[in-house]
Chain A
Amino acid sequence: MEDHHDNHVTSYAQNFKILFVLLLLTISTILIIKLDLGPYTVAMALFLASVKTTIVLTYFMHLKGEKLILRLMVGGVFLLFAIIVIITFIDYYFRII
Chain B
Amino acid sequence: MSFDPVISITSTTLVLPASNIDTDQIIPARFLTVTGKEGLGKLAFYDWRYEKDGSDTDHILNTNAAKACQILVAGHNFGCGSSREHAPWALYDYGFRVVISSEIADIFHANSLKNGLLPIVIEKSAHQWLLDHPSENVHIDLERQKVRLPKNGGTYSFKIDPFSKHCLTHGMDEMDYLQDQIKAISAYETNL
Please determine whether chains A and B interact with each other in the same assembly: no
Residues of A within 8 A of B (CB): none
